[in-house]
Amino acid sequence: MNPKVTIIVPIYNTSLLLPRCLDSLKRQTFSDIEILLIDDGSTDDSQYVCERYCEKDSRFKYWYKQNGGLSSARNFGIQRATGEYISYVDSDDYISENTYEIAYEKASHYGVDLLNFGYTYFDAKENAEKRTSVLPKNQVFDKQVILDLLKKDPLKNKLLWFSCFYLFRTQYVNKNKLFFDESVLLGEDSDYNLRSLLSAEKIYSIDDNLYYYVFNANSLTQHRYKEGLLEKFSSQFKARIKVYKDYGIFEKDYIVEISRNYLEHSLFELIRNEYINHPNKKALDNVKKIRRDPMFVFCCKHYKHSKKCTRNKKILISLFVLKLFYPLHFLLKKIK
């Protein structure tokens, strides 16, 4: 008989943190689960750790594959999932002991395609902060709620962040071919969550903090200088535009909001990346390159600032949109 929940754990060189994650899965009060450990080409002791758990508990299953990235590892797991529902847990995080007891009971009771739950975030100093999504709580709803929220800064309200905070019905995942887009080099969860939310007929969200997301200083996303960041944002942007077209929402309100996301958020991450790490002249040249990228050509054309946009940001964005690079460069040098 197939298990109720398949838990997919992508692993890459996290042997020191892995036992904490796997112990939290092993201790689940809901035991009807399978745990797929997908080793994405680790070169540390991750394999040894995984095999130790597999020997003691038949619910653990281990695969080693050539390194292909997080999306590749998750897709590998999706193709082998036999559970009624699918869940993702990152190997440097862990979960509450009653996560699947609560999540499966709610998801199966209401027959939903997608269940969302809260999480606790631990920062670099191990300070804990409980967080939950902006989705309506304790009621079944459909994608119309998602369509409305996509007009309200989905980046800032974290609607599309982290697939680990959802439980996905496997039949619906397979029916809608919901695999992670391996061409997306940054924020792959956002693309996957967006397509999942727009494909779902019934969605449910609860406040319960069931997942523990831990800041990892060794993560590639935490490196001071991020190589190829423009190309990574561009891959994310192209995927987002494709989703909007595929789901018939390539319309003014959504286009304006996506332009806000990239100009009021992504642009400043790109600028910080340049001005912290490059000499002034090279930083200026790279800002010009950023402005020429098709992503920002599109966003500058459709942009209208949000109500939350600060005065200083408005000035910098206006200079960027109008290609007034030298005054922009002068201000950036003062505030970097």
Is the pTM higher than 0.85? The answer reads yes
List Cβ<8 Å contacts ≥24 apart for 282-289: 283/329, 283/332, 284/325, 284/326, 284/329, 287/320, 287/325, 287/328, 287/329, 287/332, 288/325, 289/230
The CA distance from 283 to 325, in Å, is: 11
Pairing outcome for strands 60-64 and 128-131: unpaired
pLDDT score at 217: 62
Q: Report which secondary-structure segment, H or E, holds 274.
A: helix 267-277
Q: What's the pLDDT tens digit per position in 294-305?
A: 999 999 999 999
Q: What CA–CA distance (Å, rounded) separates 117 from 101?
A: 13
Tokens of 309: 């946009």
Q: What is the pLDDT of residue 32?
A: 98
**In the chain, what percentage of residues exceed pLDDT 90?**
80
pLDDT at 223 over 60: no
DSSP 214-235: E--TTSGGG-SS-TTHHHHHHH
| Higher pLDDT, residue 113 or 134 | 113
Q: Is the dihedral of CA 213, 219, 223, 228 positive or negative?
A: negative
Q: Which pLDDT does position 159 carry in this prediction?
A: 60
The answer to whether residue 126 scores a pLDDT higher than 90 is no
Q: pLDDT band for position 222 (50/70/90)? A: very low
The predicted-structure confidence for 46-76, as pLDDT tens digits, reads as follows: 999 999 999 999 999 999 999 999 999 999 9
